[in-house]
Structure 1
Amino acid sequence: MKENGNEKLRILLADDHPMFCEGLVATLQSVEELEVVGIASNGEEAVRLAEALQPDIVLMDVSMPGLNGIEATRVINRVSPHIGVLMLTMFDDDSSVFSAMRAGARGYLLKGAQKNEIIRAINAVGGGEAIFSPTIARKMMYYFDSIVGKTADHALFPQLTDREREVLSWITQGLSNAEISRKLGLTLKTIRNHVSNILNKLQAVDRTQAILIAREAGMGRKPGES
């Protein structure tokens, strides 16, 4: 993502509703630091244009003809993981939200979002953050709270070593690498290696997705809690 504040964030729109796209383009073009570089009307076109144009961000609808937005997001993350995908859709059901997150989306907004909320989300994703609309954030918190404790942590993710599972548990608590290093009495380099192994084994694109995968599976208690 852009680190130079003087460079524009390049955006690809993926939506099959021309009138919505027209309004969204007008909204984005009114912001000096944003640039719309392409519009895709289906998932296949979104994948093709993402690879060809290499935008910073794809604003992706969920429901589109042919390849849907979630599958397109999965392909884009596999081919160009540096591109941030921000879902902008009418769908707020659990299946769409969590499927999009598992596919690697960096954020999820509903189409009723205000202009300033959309711009803020684009800038956040452009800065490497993950962001969700208040409605989606509450849905995720409720979902995670409802599953915590259902499965013992030691029974989760058999592909991880005991130490990697312990590090993942601390990651789900929101601790940074430096904080985990101090907690476990290990060097920062060792923790970084563990985190890299965890992301690879979970096939997660970043810490946010690893947290989502871990909490969805039931991991959420701090190490040592029963």
Structure 2
Amino acid sequence: MAKTFSSWRGAWCVAVLALGMTACSSLPQPPQAVVRYDLGVAPALSTPVVAASASALAPIALGPIQTPLQADGNTAVRYRLAYADAQVLHAYTQARWSLPPGTMVLQRLREHLSEGGRIVLSAEPGAIPPSVQGRQVPVLHLALEEFSQVFSSVQDSVGWVRVRATLVDPAPQGDVLLAQQVFDVRQPAAVPHAAAGVQALAQGVDLIGQHMRQWLTSGVVPQRTP
């Protein structure tokens, strides 16, 4: 009889312990903290311009960047599933940019374009075009046409950055088109998650900054005669 009671008591303890574990596991879990990212520190350019001419470093102005696929103020980290629904932009639930992507990209590109001592001013819509020593400078308009992590499979993805740059010479009768170039970079992500996608996007922006700087030193900015 004692043995039977002891066995029953042991079984009862196990049942109570199991019930307690079940109750604990059913308690609401605290929400995961949202991680906020930026583009990090800009690396030194790997292809510096040596002995740039005066025309290569002629001053320019940057207008506000257009972000057709990003709502104003939206800081979501976006991704596409190219193998399933490439036309749909998804958003990570626990990953955000610290600032709207257009703001970060414009600031990073400004850093790249200022390399070598080039003067980079700001051009505001509706305002008088900026000038240097009494002469108006060309205005570079940018459009961030793609800024997302694109998955070609469950494991493989790239950070896709696409920027359209349009250089114009402001004139009273209307802007004169000087040059236009599309910069498209797809930088592989190391692993299939948001942090790796953010890193690939940051690297893509830096590559575009280098290419854009070289483009502007190729003679598309007209030299101002004295």
Question: Given the two structures, how large is their TM-score scaled by the length of structure 2?
Answer: 0.25
Greater fraction of residues in helix: 1
**Structure (1 or 2) with the greater strand fraction:** 2
**Structure number with larger C-alpha Rg:** 2
Higher relative contact order (CA 8 A, sep 6+): 2
